Structure formats: C-alpha cells, structure tokens
Structure 1
Amino acid sequence: MSGPIISEPTTKSESKRITIDPITRLEGHGKIEIFLNDEGNVANAYWQVPELRGFEKFCIGRSVDELNKITPRLCGVCPGAHHLCSTKALDGVFQAEPPEAGRKLRELFYAAHYIHSHIAHFYALAAADFVLGPAAPAEKRNILGVVDAVGVNIGSEVIKHRSYAQKVQEMLGGKATHPVCGIPGGMSKPINEDERKQIEEWAKSCVEFSKFTMGLLGDVVLKNEAYLDLIKDPGIYYNETYYMGLVDKNNKINFYDGDLRVVDQKGKEVEKFHPSKYLDHIGEHVEPWTYEKFCFLKKIGWNGFTDGPQSGIYRCAPLARVNASTGFTTPEAQKGYEQLKDFFKGLGVEGPIHHTMIYHWARVIELMHASEWLLELSQDPMITSKDIKSPTKTPGEGIGCLEAPRGVLIHHYVADENGITTDVNLVVGTTNNNAPINLSVRQAAKGLIKNWQVSPGILNEVEMAYRAYDPCNSCATHTLPGQMPLKAVIRKPNGEIFQEIQNF
C-alpha cells in the first residue's frame, strides 16, 4: 500500500485534504478524498473512481451473440457472473429458455464461481484486517502476511479449495478465467459421469472447508472483543439503507434466478418485481467527479448522499441479500443465517442488520451455501443429461439478471433483426453499491479521524469501509455523462484565474 498523499492548507481557513491513492485490496482502481475542517475533523469524504472502461458503448455494433464472450473481459475476478448474466440476456434476445438440465448445468458452474470468488475476497483481500489487525504494518497486510500468521497448512487449504472451484469452472466453462460455455437457450456441452464424480468429490471437500471458514470467523473475529467493538460502533461502520436481493418464491436467497425484493430500514417489503421491470424501479444518478453511476430507488428518488427512509439509496451483495430474504435453501447455510440473526437479536437488533462490517460474516455464510449448492447439483441425476439446448428465434431484446458475488447484476441488450447490437445497459453490483460505499467511507472517516489525529492504521480502517463490499471498479465504470469529463483552468502570469472551461 502506498502512503497517503496529504496536502497541507495554504491558508488557515482552507480545509486540509487527505488523499488515499491508490486504495488497496479491491478489483479495479480508485482513491479516497477526505476533507478536514478547521478543527481537524472530517467535513466530507468521497470514494472516487478515476478509471473508465466503456464496455456499454463498444459492445454496440457487434454481433449480439458475441456479448457473452466480450463482457466477461470486464473483470478477471467475476467473469463467470458476467458470462452467465449475459447468456441469460441472450436467452431473452433469442427467445430461447434453456431446458431444465441446461439451467442446472449453468447453476453448477455458478456455484463453483461463487466459491472461487468468496474465498478470494475473504482470505486474500479482507482477512489481513481481521487476522493481523487494522493497524498492522502496510507491508504485512496481504495474503502472505495472513499465511504467515495462520500457518502454511491453512494457507494451502485456501489455495487448494479455490483451485477446486476454478477447475470446475474450467471443466464446464471451457476456460478457467473467461468462460465460453453459455449459449442462447442453454449450454454448449454436457458433462460425463467421470466429470460429475470428480465435481462431487471436490464439492464435499469445499463443504468441509466452508465449515472450517465459518469456525475461523467465529474464533478470529467474534471472539475478539476489541474488533467487535469497532464493528458494532454505530458511529463508524453503520448506515440505515434499503436493501435489495434476488429471492425465490419463498423469499429465500437465490443466486441465479427469481424476483428482486427490496426491504426498508425496518425490514418491511417495499417492492418486489421481476428483473425485466428494472427500469421502472432503479434509477441511475451521475456526478462529474467519478466514472461510476449511482443507483437509487425511483419510488423514493435521489436525495443525495444520505441514508434513512427519505433516501432512495439501497445496498446489494451478501449482507443485503441476508436482509432482503428469509434465509437460505441449504441446511448448513441456514444454520449460519440463524446464528447471525440470533447474535444481533442478542444486541437488540430485530430487523435488518445495518452494520457494514457484517458483510464479511454474510459472505462466509454464502460460501457455505455455494458449497452445499455445488454438492447438491453434482448429485442430481439430471446433471449429466445431454438435453441442454433449446432452439432460438429471431433476435430482439433481452434482460438477464443474477446475483453476482458483489451484488445484483443486470445485462440489458437490444439487437436488430440481423442480430447486431443496437443498445446495451449494464447495472453491476458495485454500481448498485456505489452510493452506499460513499456513505460508508464518509461515516468511517468522520468516526475515526478526530482533532487532526491521522495515522496509517486509521486510514486503513477508513479503507475497510469500502473493502466490506468487495467492490469491482473494473466492472462498474461505464458511461458516466457519456464523455470524458474535463476541466481546464487558464491563469494569468500572476496566478490569477483568467478562465475556467469544463464539458460537464
């Protein structure tokens, strides 16, 4: 981690500015700007994303059936999510619903993707803050530092089980990182019995490893009183927002399909809709200082960077899925869900859990669910069926939606009758969480930085606010105002501003 760049004020009345650039242990690039007032307390803080990918624009004009090979290149960490969501959108474009065996084969692939992604975040990106402590030296806050602290044996188990998940993705997806298995109306190839047995063996091991990880969370985090005090402090990692998640007909979490359910700060359902209606419910706000859009609930409206019932800001990803649902469909994950709820009931919290750091706990429970899901599907007799494709029709418009590890993911394509893409819209997990990440960074900065007291450890605790969301800025930066925002300041020889020119 590079040290923070700190700019001193040129006058006594000018606010002090702290820049954390680059921010660390996330996918993509970004920085944090913190502004202090004359008392040395935080006046404001921003999570700023200065990179632009532009995938929505350069997909236009391409053959629409190429998009599920192009969009996974958004990110090397979550290509499986983009590939399947894109493929689901192509199902709609070509009016081709996959047969049951084809859908289950996609879900088998996706369960492995979740295992691979959640292991990577919990152990490689987040664990340094738990295991080593927020104020540990920067050179130690990484996966090697974690392995050194917990032991090589545990480190090898982490690598082994992430490898198992990656091998399943390679087996089904054709490639380990950027899959090519999905086609409109199904999957490109089945698996045989030997492959099924191998996946089942790996899945059983992943279930046991997930149990170990849940135990590790309990031993390292939940028994650390100092860390728990930091997590539970309502002045640091806490925001009362709406929550959105994909659920089945019983309001249980479903990573692959279902309706989008929104609950308020008290847990009351305020909206439930099919993803094909997302434009009626989700709005996208833009600001000139970042290349990521800000999602909000149209029913409430955009009311700035604030939380509470009057704010249309909502959260997605693991904690949001827990809050927007009634739990999981697999037994061990449901036990974990009930333990989490019971823990907070003991603290007097009956409804949604608003404590941002609990994203990590929810993520570990989801790792358990994904492992059980992988095992369940690998034992399904239908999983080796060769009936995995449906015929396609004349292309048109399609919307795909699933729960990416980082939150609700939507791909929306429009094609002409020749199959050429004419319009693309992507709403990704980190776009949904962009506004709440700003809220969380600001809340943490205000709660931690007091009376000019700033240290590398405190700044890492500010970074922990965004790290809880497991953000992916590579995925989330698209077309902000539709052009590169530029500002030019022309000064006279004496330094006085002559003219300011900007295109936003």
Structure 2
Amino acid sequence: MKRVSIDPITRLEGHGKIDIFLDDQGNVANAYLQIPELRGFEQFCVGRPVEEMPNLTARICGVCPEAHHMAATKALDAVFHVDPPDTAKKLRELFYSIFFATDHTTHFYALGGPDFVVGPEAPKAERNILGVVQKVGLEIGSKVIKMRHVGHHLIQMMGGRRVHPNWGLPGGVSRGITEEQRKEIEAAGREAVEFAKFSLQLFDKLVLQNSEYVALVTGDVYVHKTYYMGMVDANNHVNFYDGLIRVVGPDGTQHAKYPAADYREYIAERVEPWSYLKFPYLKKVGWKGFVDGPDSGIYRATPLSRLNAADGMATPLAQKEFQRFYEVLGGKPVHHTLATHWARLIELLYAAERWVELASDPKITGRDFRVLPKEKPTEGVGCVEAPRGTLTHHYTTDERGLVVKANLIVGTTNNNAPICMSVQRAAQKLIRGGELREGLLNKVEMAFRAYDPCFGCATHSLPGQMLLEVRIRDPQGNLVHRLRQNID
C-alpha cells in the first residue's frame, strides 16, 4: 500500500498533515488528518486564579483571542454568580461583533478565498492573499486591508490591545466608551456593512456565476449529512454572543435546545490514538464511528451549521441573504461543506449590521458597565460562538478561587470528526488510478479549509498526557526502531 503525505497542510491556524493510503489500483483506501501539536491549555489553567482566565486563555490563539477572552469572561460571571449590567452586555457584544466581522474577512480573503478567486488548480505560489489581490485588483485589496486595520484598531480601542485583549471582568468590563468613540465605531460599522455587501457581490460574481465552481460546491465530493449546532436568540435567530445552543438533525428538525451550562448533558468527548484533538459527539445519539446520518452522533458547528440550526438572521440585510442562500441551494438544511464560505459572508454582513445597531444604542455609552462580585467563586460555564464554531469554557474552583479543573470545547474541536470525514471523502472521490497532481491534492485540502480550523486552539488531550512517537531510521532511511509514549 502506498502512502501519500500532504505535510504540512496550508492556509490554516496551527499545524497538520494528511496521510493518504492508496491500494494497488491507485485508489484511496483510507485518509487521515493528523494534528502533530499538543498545547494542553486545560492543564495550564489548573492552579491559576480563575480571574486570570480571560487573559491566559486568550493566549491560546493569536487569530481569535477575542473569542477565548469573551467565553472566559462569561464563565467568570457564572463562577462569581454575578449578572453584568445592560451596558456591559451591549459593550461586550459590540466588541465581539467587530471581532467577528474582522475575523471572517481574514478567512475569506486570505485563507479560503484563494481557492475560488485564484482557482483550486492554479499554481500553489499564486493561491494566497497576494494572488487574490493580483486577480481582483489593488483597489479591492486595499478595501480588505482597510477593513482588517479598522477592525483591529477598534478592538484595541475597546479591549486595550489589538491582539490578546485585556478588558473582560466578572460582572462586566474594565472600561466603557465615550461619545466620540461611539461615533467613530458607528461610522466604521456603516463602512463595514458596505464592505460585507461588496464581499457577497464578489462571491456571487466569482463563484455563483461560475458553473464549474457551482458544480464543485453542490457536487458529491464535499457533502455530509450530519447534525448541526449553533447559538440562537429567543426567536431562533443566529446570535454570536448570547442565547441557547440549538442542535438540528440531518433533516433539519430540532434535536436539542439548551443553556450552555447544561452542555455535559448533551455533549460527550472521546480520543483517538492518532490525534491530539478530542472528538465530541452528541451523547443522546452516541458515537458510531466516523459516519454521518441521523444514527451518528457526529455534529458540525460552523457558519453553515449556525444557519442550518437557526430559523433566520436578526438583521434585515443578512436575513435577505439567508433566504436567498436556501432558495439557491434547494432549501434547509444545506449539507454541502463548501457552502460554508457563502454562509461565512452572510455572517459577516450580520456582524456588521449588529455592530451598527449596538453602536447606535443610547445605552452603549453608559457608565454603569460593571457589577462587583460579592459571592465566593465556585463553578461556571461561559459560551460564545467563535467564528469556527461553538466555544465553551468551563471552570471549577476551590474556595480561594484557584482553578481545580478546566474544560474547553473549542470551535474546531466540535468539528474534528467531520473534518476527518470530509478529508477522507474528498480524497476517495478525487484521487483515482493513482493520479496525484498538485491541484487534486489542493482540492483535498479544501475539504478541511472550509471549516476555517484552528488546530492550535483545539489541541487539548483529554487525559492530559503527551502522546509521543519517535521513529529512528538508518542512513538509508529504513525504519530500525520505534519508541512510543502513551500510545496503545
């Protein structure tokens, strides 16, 4: 049996490789997505004062530290039994909407977009942000750069830093905004709405009006019928900051709807010896292996999943795009993985609209932005929608407020099993008779890239033990000895 490795895989956060095994006919017998990094932040948290968690866990990732910062801050509210005032909640959601719009811009134009804007079979040296700029023009490239620059500027204005914010506190935030800052934020939000509308128009022109790309998106290479997870508000509309977790089945019917604090009643986790990532699944359905369908507990938590799990969007322009999305793709739910890129742009528009709504709210400049905790810390769960999926932080403390146990279910961790399935399916559908041209291998990578995975965030080993394999080879490259630690 022949092994083909894509090592490293590209345009993602973190590190990974894909091993593809071909049978004697050159067809794919199996394919594995392997994550060779272990970071173990759950163990780093143990013994630390719980109030350090928003800043400590933000260091998990330099791409979406705001997500970990916010989930940890909400967990602190629960740990200290305190409910933030309305102004604090609005400020947090405003901050988070700015982050969401900025992050989705990064993925579409720098990570996922090159496969469509430049082309999946284009030379790999051109499939990057520079290739995108060359294809669409410097003017559009400038818009992208400005959008990201303004987003990070506002994140620094509100959160204290462009990266790794220092802002969230149990019961609120450390600072509010002035009227002058509010006006700047609102004006930038209105520009962000126009940028999101432009991005959707660009997607329509480059992808939806290209029959080859439409066939790629809607074909049978990138499709799985799984459960879908996302946070919704009281109207079952998408919300990134607060709400209930809703899960729908492959047929779109509701499977569960619960507060984040109850996540352990619905989600279980398992490990496999060949990956540092945990594999969550729906506890009430059960683990049936790497298969999809209603009898498998595998679920997805992505922009596409959030749209599938919701009944609509909470802002008018995004709602129109939501309706068009399902009209074009044949109704709910949509199972085509590459449609996630389109869903991500609809979320970009929603985030920008919500940004403007919150910046226009008279309460946003209120000075009542924190309630001081008065009770002893105990245990708490905080949850937000990270760009890559539902993010849960769960801390248990002793009577001094030191963390004795931490559990993090990261957006990409939710998607670990379906990412592995998507990679395997793409490899089996695309590679036939031993044909291994570079463009085909990139299309295999596109299967995981649609999830916008952050493997640096997701690598937390369930037993907290380092899995290690050392291979010793002679000068000719022959394997002479193998040493293993914590691997059966």
* TM > 0.5 fold call: yes
Match of residue 172 from structure 2: 186
2:49 equivalent to 1:68: no
Query: In structure 2, what is the equivalent of residue 484 of structure 1?
Result: 466
2:434 to 436, 440, 452: 452
1:465 matches 2:447? yes
Quote the residue 2:402 is aligned against: 420
- Equivalent residues in 2 for 1:9-24, closer than 5 Å: 15-24=1-10
Residue in structure 1 matched with residue 456 of structure 2 by the alignment: 474
Structure 2 residue aligned with 1:239: 224
**3-state secondary structure, aligned to 2:82:** coil
Q: Deviations over 1:415-446 (max 9, x none)?
A: 11111111100000000000000011011111
Conservation of the 8 A alpha-carbon contact between 1:57 and 1:479:
no
- C-alpha distance in 2, partners of 1:116/1:171? 15
Amino acid at match of 1:387: D
8 Å CA contact 1:105–1:383 kept in 2: the answer is yes
- Structure 1 residues 163 and 230: alpha-carbon distance in aligned structure 2, compared to 1, 3 A threshold: same
Contact 2:469 2:483 in 1 (8 A): no
Aligned length: 484
Query: 1:483: Cα distance to partner?
Result: 1.3
- TM-superposed deviation, 1:162: 1.3
Which residue is equivalent to 2:420? Answer: 438
Selected match of 1:115 from 96, 101, 104: 101
Give the letter aligned to residue 383 of structure 2.
C
2:342 to 361, 382, 387: 361
Unmatched 5+ stretches in structure 2: none
Distance 1:41 1:60, change over 3 A: same
Deviation at 1:489, TM superposition (A): 7.7
- Tell me how far apart the structure 2 counterparts of residues 208 and 241 of structure 1 sit (CA, whole Å): 34
Secondary structure in 1 aligned to 2:239? coil
Aligned CA distance change for structure 1 residues 396 and 497 (closer, same or farther; 3 Å):
closer
Report runs of 4+ in structure 1 exceeding 3 Å deviation: 486-492, 494-504
Question: Superposition pairs for residues 46-85 of structure 1, below 5 Å?
Answer: 46-85=32-71
Change (3 A) 1:495 1:251: closer
Q: What fraction of aligned residue pairs are identical, expressed as a percent?
A: 54
Contact 1:55-1:74 within 8 A present in 2 as well: yes
3-state SS in 2 of match to 1:215:
helix
Taking a change above 3 Å as real, the CA distance of residues 254 and 490 of structure 1, as seen in their structure-2 partners, is closer
SS in 1 for 2:87: helix
Quote the residue 1:140 is aligned against. Answer: 126
Task: Name the SS for the 2:20 alignment partner.
Answer: strand
| Residue of structure 2 equivalent to 1:406 | 388
> Once superposed, what is the RMSD of the aligned Cα atoms?
1.7
Distance 1:53 1:100 in 2: 36
**Separation (CA, whole Å) in 1 of partners of 2:484 and 2:343:** 48
Q: Is the 8 A contact 2:468 2:484 kept in 1?
A: no
Q: Are 1:379 and 2:360 matched, yes or no?
A: yes
Structure 1, unaligned runs of 5 or more: 1-14
Counterpart contact for 1:488–1:502, Cα < 8 Å: no
Q: Distance in 1 between matches of 2:156 and 2:145?
A: 16
Structure 1 residue 487, shift from structure 2 partner: 4.5
1:154 paired with 2:140, answer yes
Cα distance in structure 1, aligned partners of 2:387 and 2:249: 22
Letter of the aligned partner of 2:139 in structure 1? N
* Structure-1 separation of matches of 2:342 and 2:163: 26
Tell me which of 131, 143, 156 is aligned to 1:170.
156
- 2:277 alignment counterpart: 292
Aligned CA distance change for structure 1 residues 144 and 411 (closer, same or farther; 3 Å): same
What SS does structure 2 have at the residue aligned with 1:243? Answer: strand
Question: Is 1:222 matched with 2:208?
Answer: yes
- Amino acid corresponding to residue 149 of structure 2 in structure 1: S
Which TM-score applies when normalising by structure 2? 0.97
CA distance in 2, matches of 1:499, 1:88: 43
List per-residue Cα deviations over 1:448-495 (Å, max 9, x = no partner).
000111111000000000000000001000124421223468999x98
2:236 corresponds, among 246, 251, 254, to: 251
**Contact 1:18–1:34 (8 Å) recurs in 2:** yes
Tell me the CA shift for residue 499 of structure 1. Answer: 9.8
Q: Distance in 1 between matches of 2:482 and 2:354?
A: 64
1:331 aligns with 2:316: yes
TM-score (norm 1): 0.94
CA distance in 1, matches of 2:215, 2:119: 13
**Residues of 1 paired with 2:172 and 2:376: CA distance?**
16
SS of the aligned residue for 2:113 comes to helix
Of 239, 251, 259, the match for 1:274: 259
Q: 1:396 to 1:226 in 2, by over 3 A?
A: same
Provide the rounded CA distance (Å) in 1 between the counterparts of 2:99 and 2:39. 23
Distance 1:316 1:178 in 2: 24
Give CA-to-partner distance per residue, 1:189-245, whole Å, 9 cap, x none. 1100000000011011001111100100100000010111111111x1000000011
Alpha-carbon offset, residue 160 of structure 1: 0.4
Q: Is the Cα contact below 8 Å between 1:253 and 1:321 reproduced in 2?
A: yes
